[in-house]
Amino acid sequence: MKTTIKIFNLLLIVLMINSCDYVSNTIESNSNSNGNQTIDSTKVYRKVFIEDYTGHRCGNCPAAARTLKRLDSIYHEKLIPLAVHCTNFANPNVTYPEDFRTSEGTEYDNVLGVSASSGLPNGLVNRKGFGTPNFVKADSQWETEAQSYFNQEADFKIDLTNTYNSSANTFNTELKITALKDLSGEYNATLLLIEDSIIGVQYDQSLPVAQQVVTNYNFMHVLRKSLNTAWGEVAFNGTIAKGQTFTKTFSNVSLNPIYVAKNCQVIAYLYDAATSSASRYEVFQAEMKKVKE
């Protein structure tokens, strides 16, 4: 009887070892999980560019900012966040002295019609659906919309390399965009400079009345400027062959002395620039890289 039990236990141990080996091999494959998404490291996936149109005098805007922060913490590098400060809600005054407005941000809002849709806060997810009634997305829609992209294999890959010169407070950016399949169309590349962790004053209506003017608010993903105009430049036009690349170096880009280099990042995104296209303005790939590592 004891011999039978020993044999049974031995067989059980063997089965457990084999079972563990099987699970281990599965985990060590080319797949991993990121924000409820199983990804294959041998493939390039489409990233999600979320724009939060906001203002420091907009009492409902901090709630949208918290949504974007939460999504960023879940999806990490799969999500490219941008905060565009615009409209009268972004105007500075004695109580709200910071000025985060940019000519590019104002132009995006005017052309894409974000605030005109239903005020602030509102946003865009990959700028899909321009000209349709549901183009502008409330922050409650951002996550659902974003999840529809995470498992999509990308048409393009973007590589960014930044080199910071501390003595001159400038940086160089090397951009490379590669077509991953045969395509056709007109695509523009735009590069933006953003800054995180800016402490300033923000109105927040979710707080008790006496606390609604928040003097130590942490502003994230703030659009500072474009490196190549609001609408960028043509990267591909016409027939595009798989493996075709667009490369460009932006040299000696100056940082405003009030910017903190270690908190700055470059966003590059590629979008449909064909005026007659049904997917006009839609962002098909985006990438983000720190100015100073």
pLDDT score, position 41: 73
Nearest Cα residue to 59 out of 188, 177, 208:
208
Residue 15 lies in a domain: no
Q: Which domain holds residue 68?
A: 44-290
Tally the domains of the chain.
Answer: 1
- pLDDT for residue 42: 83
State pLDDT tens for residues 237-274: 999 999 999 999 999 999 999 999 999 999 999 999 99
Q: Classify residue 224: in a domain, yes or no.
A: yes
Residue 10, CB-side half-sphere exposure with 13 Å CA sphere: 6
Poorest-confidence range of 14-23, 70-79, 244-253? 14-23
Residue 153: what pLDDT? 97
Q: What is the mean pLDDT of residues 50-59?
A: 98
Q: Is residue 16 part of a domain?
A: no
pLDDT at residue number 39: 59
CA angle 261, 265, 270 (to 5 degrees): 155
Q: Is residue 265 part of a domain?
A: yes
**Do residues 11 and 19 lie in contact, with contact meaning Cβ atoms separated by under 8 Å?**
no
**For the residues 152-175, what does the mean pLDDT come to?**
98
Residue 259 within any structural domain of the chain: yes
> Does 229 map to a domain?
yes
Q: Per the domain annotation, does 34 fall within a domain?
A: no
- The CATH number given to whatever domain includes residue 253 is 2.60.40.10
pLDDT tens digit sequence for 274-289: 999 999 999 999 999 9
Q: How confident is the model at residue 12 (pLDDT cuts 50, 70, 90)?
A: very low
State the Cα–Cα distance between residues 237 and 86, nearest whole angstrom.
Answer: 31
- Does pTM top 0.85 for this prediction? yes
Instruction: Tell me whether residue 4 is in a domain.
Output: no
Predicted local distance difference test score (pLDDT) of residue 10: 45
